[in-house]
Each structure stands twice: as structure tokens, then as C-alpha cells.
Structure 1
Amino acid sequence: MQNKTGNHKGLWIGLAIVAVMIIGVMVLHHTSKNSQAASGVQTINVGSGNDGQPFAYLDKNGQPAGMDIAVIQAIDKKLPQYKFKLTLSDFPTMITNLKSGKTSLAFYQIEKNPERQQDFKFGSVGYTIWDTLLATKKSTGVLNTFADAKGKKLYVTNSTNQATLTDAYLKKNPNAFGVTRGTYTVEQIAQGLNSDQFNVYPAPKYSIDLLNRQFKTNLVYGKAVNHSSAYPMFNKKADPKLMKAVNQAMAELKKDGTLKQLSQKWLKGDYVPKD
């Protein structure tokens, strides 16, 4: 015969244990939240690339690497009030994430243009020069303007500022020149130039130097058709305190030579804007 009193006692003990466990979990959760609040550290989701060497990519061990990643990490070290959490993707997805608020800040060699300035806010300190030059083989001749490219064939990479500039010129001057569009690798661009698939490549000095260094293309160029730099880009509703802190950190990194050192390490040259 079962002892009802004993059963009731066991039940109450069991319930008491469960209650203590629940209270313990709640206390730990509350303590953790209080600890985070007390530390004053705010997590900031930062977007960048996952396949854009040497700017932002995953190395052979699956770890984030590249110029932009190094800049993000250098800023993070200067701002103890923030903890940067990386969200890596291709360029279009990075833009979508920033616009939707999934990330608050992005670094991926982003240039200013009117369309982006409508949707986002930019930092005040540029970290890579992206003046657009019209690179050609010597046999094609030196070009100083898009008008000089009349009748020629250009290659532009999709979603870049160079593509935007090219399209803006063609809008005012239809059929001025032919355009090949794509997401070619550096090797494919070199092959295209060498085979005359196209004979003009609007690009920054860094990209031209890379082609000449790696593939002996011996490209030449004239005056810049556009002056530009890469900047941090913020969600339009980004916290002004975050923007001010990042701008200040960037200014310090430029002044103390860190940006130059990172450029020389990752880009094999000093491509930091002088102003």
C-alpha cells in the first residue's frame, strides 16, 4: 500500500527543486545582462566581403583576412566601448544587409556616388585611393577622358563605381564605345586586354599596378576621369556616437601611419589618400 503523505512530500520537494532551478536560470540571465550593461560594451554588426582578395576574404583556414578586415580590426581595438561582429558576404548582399539594418557599418572598398549617398551615410576619412584611370596597352594610346575612348571597347566590373561612371557617360553619349560587363578575375582582365576582347579598362591605380606586376601587361594611363576614395559606409539611421567614434579612430590610424602600413602589407604599396 502506497504512503500518500510520502508521495505528497516527494512532489513538493520536486516542485521546489524545479522552482530553484528556474530562479537560478533567471538570476544568471539577469546577472549576465547586468554585467553587459555595466561593461558598457555595445556589439556592432559590421559588413564586409568574403571573396575579394586582397581586401576582404576568407583565408585557407576559413578566417577573415585582407585590407578591409585589418582596418575593421584596428578600429575595434581603438574603441573599447564597442565590440565589432563581422558579417561577411558578396558585395550586393553586404549592401542589402546594411540598408535593412542587419549591419550598422560596412567596409569593402566602398566609393561614394549619388545613389549610395541617398541611401547611406559615409565616414569622413578615406582609406584607399580609387581615382578612376583609363588603362590601355601602349599600342592603344594614352586616354585622358571618356571622350578619348570613342570607338573603343571597355571592360567594367558589375556594381562598381567604374560601371556607374561608364553608364553615366553613355547616357549622355549613346554608342560612344562598346562595353563588356562582368565579374572577371584579374587574370581574365589581363587575358581580355591581351586578346583585344576589350582595350580600355577603367580602374584605380592599385588595380592597374596589380595587372602590370602579376601579368606584365605594361598598361599605361593618363589623367584621372574621376577622383574618389574608399570610405566606411553606415546605415542611414546609424548612431551618431558610433559614426563619430569610427571617424576619430580612422583619423588616428591615418595620422599614426597604421593605414599606410596596412596598405603596404595587403596592397603592396601606399594607396592611402593624402588629404
Structure 2
Amino acid sequence: MKRTARTPAIFGILAVTAMGLTACASTADAADSAGETGSKGGVQTVLVATGASPKPYTFLDKNDELTGYDIEILKQIDKKLPDIEFKYEVADFPALFAGLDSGRFNVVANNLSATDERREKYDFSDPYTEAQFGVILKDGAKGTDSLDELAGKRTYGEPGLNFTRVLEAYNEQHPDKTINIEYTELDLQSQYNNLAAGGVDFLFNERVVYNGYGGKANLGLEFYPLDGKYLTENFGTNLFSAYAFSKQRPKVADVVKQVNGALAELKESGSLKKLSEKFFDGVDVTPKN
């Protein structure tokens, strides 16, 4: 079922296509036909796409309204930029990149790592998150501080996600002792539930996602952090998340510049930290380095 939600902080309509229906296509088409990033009355309409997962970065709340750390930052940015109006559309994760490639979507807000590979195809904002990755195991299991100790074990992987790419990089480097990645479209809560039930041996994720899906659910799981330098130097992991912008739109650099200016103001005023603490149970995930 397609659901439409309205958010008072945003002008216009929030188009949601969670189940693949196409009633929201008119919103994107309107932006496409307007030229540049879409405009009306001198205001540029910028179409932001998100997968509405993982929580708390981006999700639909109990009232079916789009929210989350990534989204609320953009709402705050929107207030600071009178010449730009963000509109939102929910799509399946793989469709987000196809939309950026074609220019259908102007921006993707989905806790994306700004990897070198992605930077070749898309423009990125300044980072707004610095992540801590780790391994999630059942209580009582032997902890780990290296992916080498997970060889032969089974886990879930979602194509295209940074977590999965790290595990794939490990397997490429260790063809004789690989990690068994089962590619899945299961939602995150189901993945954590299955780990607790013994369906897989571990999950590889970041702490705040674990807190939302594993810790709060009291599933008897434990998070073991991995050293960020170890992940970065060995697997090219990028621990910083940013907004991705389609290069198919004219003047995209100007939009990125305005977004970065507003983002810097939010960080300087402490508003970014407050949003982080709100969505991550008091944890400050804003970039420190």
C-alpha cells in the first residue's frame, strides 16, 4: 500500500512509494519537467529519495510520517535555505542509486558512506555522521576484534551496503577462509531476530543500528566494536556518512554548496549534536575528525 504523509516542517507533499506503486511519479515528473532541480516562483524543488531504513537514520514513524536523523537534518537545512524546497520519496534501496544515475532523484539521504568509488559517480555533502562498526554476537559467544575470527561463519548481507562491501573485501583478500554471506532482503529487525534464534552466526553493523534493532529488543545479543583504523586501512571502509547528489542536474555544485553552508551552521550552533542525541539515545555521532 502506498501511503502519503505530510510533515509541517516541509512545504508540499511527501510522496511515499514503499510498496512500489507509482502514484507518486507525478511528483518526480514535475521536478524533472521544471528544469535544473525543478523550480517554481524562484524556489528550486529538490527531490530527496530514501529507503526509510535503517532506523534511526531514516524511517516512517507510527503516524506514517518520514523522519529520522538524516531526514530531520534536511528539514533544518530547508528552513535555512529560502531558495530551496526539499520534497521526499521513499524507494527500495537499490532504486536509490538508479534514480541518482538517471537524474530522477536529486539527492539520496540514507546514511551513505562517501566512498571514493561513489564519489566518481555522485557529488557528496560534507559528512554529518562518523560511525562505529562492529560485530554482533549472541550473549556468551566469544568476542572478536578482527574479521579473521569470523571465517567460515554465516551472516546476512544486503547488496550495496557499506557493511556488506567490507565483508566482500575481506573475502576477496582471503579466498581460502571466507565469511559465508547470505544475501537477503529481510528487514533489519528480522535479521536481528534470526541471529538471536541461531539462524546466522553474527551480524556486522554499526553501534547505533544495533542499539535500535538488537539492544532495545532485548534479544540477548552483544555488540563488539572493531577498530576504525583497522577497517579503513585494510578494507577501505569510509566511516563518514553524507548526502549523495546526482550529477545529472545542472548547477548541482551550487546546491551542494548551500547545503554544506547550512550544515556547517547547524554543527556550529550545536543543533546537529542535539539531533544526534535525540535519535541515538544521547550518543553524539557527529564527525569529530
Global fold match (TM > 0.5): yes
Residue 273 of structure 2 is matched in structure 1 by: 260
Is structure 2 residue 166 aligned with structure 1 residue 155?
A: no
Cα 1:188/1:72, change in 2 over 3 Å: same
Contact between 1:132 and 1:227, CA under 8 Å: does it hold in 2? no
SS in 2 for 1:215: coil
Shift of residue 65 of structure 1? 2.2
- Aligned-residue CA RMSD in angstroms? 2.5
Residue 110 of structure 1 is matched in structure 2 by: 112
Give the counterpart letter for 2:136 in structure 1.
A
Residue 282 of structure 2 is matched in structure 1 by: 269
**How many correspondences in the alignment?**
239
Shift of residue 72 of structure 1? 1.4
Give the counterpart letter for 2:68 in structure 1.
G
The runs of 5 or more residues in structure 2 that have no matched partner are 1-37, 232-236
Pairing partner for 2:72 from 70, 75, 82:
70
Contact between 2:139 and 2:222, CA under 8 Å: does it hold in 1? yes
Between the aligned partners of 2:137 and 2:189, the Cα distance in structure 1 is 16
Percent identity (aligned):
26
Mapping 1:62-211, distance limit 5 Å: 62-124=64-126, 126-174=127-175, 175-210=177-212, 211=214
Residue 42 of structure 1 is matched in structure 2 by: 44
Shift of residue 73 of structure 1? 0.8
Give the counterpart letter for 1:253 in structure 2.
L
SS in 2 for 1:103: coil
Contact between 1:132 and 1:202, CA under 8 Å: does it hold in 2? yes
Task: Provide the TM-score with structure 2 as the length reference.
Answer: 0.73
Residue 245 of structure 2 is matched in structure 1 by: 234
Between the aligned partners of 2:40 and 2:205, the Cα distance in structure 1 is 48
Pairing partner for 1:221 from 198, 208, 224:
224
Between the aligned partners of 2:40 and 2:113, the Cα distance in structure 1 is 38
Contact between 1:156 and 1:179, CA under 8 Å: does it hold in 2? yes
Between the aligned partners of 1:122 and 1:209, the Cα distance in structure 2 is 27
Write the deviation string for residues 134-189 of structure 1: whole angstroms up to 9, x where unpaired.
22235332222221212322222333111111111112212422222213334322
Between the aligned partners of 1:191 and 1:59, the Cα distance in structure 2 is 21
Between the aligned partners of 2:149 and 2:288, the Cα distance in structure 1 is 28
Shift of residue 216 of structure 1? 4.0
Task: Provide the TM-score with structure 1 as the length reference.
Answer: 0.77
SS in 1 for 2:216: helix
Pair member with larger Rg: 1
